[in-house]
Amino acid sequence: MKESVLITGSSSGIGQACAHRLARAGMTVIGGARRYIGANDRIEESPDITCLGLDIGDSSSIDAFVDTGIAAKDSQLSYAVLNAGLCLPDGLLAGSVADHEKVMSGNFSGHLQLLRALDRRDLLRTMKAIVFIGSIYGRRASPQVISYAASKAAVESLTQSLALELAPATRVNCVLPGHIDTPMLAAAGPAFVEDVLRRTPLQRIGTAEEIAQLVEYLLTSATFMTGTAIVADGGYQLT
């Protein structure tokens, strides 16, 4: 039976790059993203990639995704890439409490609900490896995106706790990207990107494919690594 990988936030950026790289590596990819909701609930991007509607902030959407996309698939769920994310400008007094909660749900608690849904269907503890996509902003103060930073810090903490709970059968690791060429970075505006380039020792923005390469390594090759968070930011954290 062919091994499969679940990828959240698979419609663009890092998630999309992971989907195509892992499909090329021979896996069956089951992707989920808000973009696919309403598009006949299902989009086939290639024979090895199935894309389904998934709102990671909605428990009913999570349950439907697990039941129709994962449990019904004729393959062994061996891996998961928990990538879906949401970033809203939200200093302490910006936005509403609901906006802050939406970011926390989209980045952290929604993935926790997804893992619980998989566990209830006996699909979690048989996996070989899980990789979360965190952020350097989980470790770096940022008053402009406090909920995003807090949620990504929570993702790194969850990685460590799950690594203990799911060992020895399932490895759980985390990638902490810096500034990557994705729609999320583009939304920050050219002035922000220019400042990032000035402060990054490698003097460039990272690519989604570079993060996907690291994700593949953690899933399939890093067989003595669990509970680890790897930074990929071109040296930005040093400045």
Which pLDDT belongs to residue 73? Answer: 73
Q: Let me know if 148 is a catalytic residue.
A: yes
Q: What are phi and psi of 215, to 5 degrees?
A: -60, -45
Give the residue from 107, 114, 95 showing the smallest Cα distance to 151. Answer: 107
Which pLDDT belongs to residue 92? Answer: 63
Q: What is the pTM of this model?
A: 0.93
Which pLDDT belongs to residue 80? Answer: 98
Which residue ranges make up each domain of the chain? 3-233
CB 177 within 8 Å of CB 136: yes
Burial of residue 16 (CB within 10 Å: 0-12, 13-18, 19+) is: buried
Which CATH class name applies to 3-233? alpha beta
Question: CA separation (Å) from 27 to 70, 71, 209?
Answer: 14, 16, 17
Which pLDDT belongs to residue 74? Answer: 65
* Average confidence (pLDDT) per 10 residues, the chain, 239 residues: 91 94 94 76 69 93 92 84 83 71 91 97 96 95 84 96 98 97 87 93 97 98 98 95
Residue of 36, 79, 137, 148 with catalytic role: 148
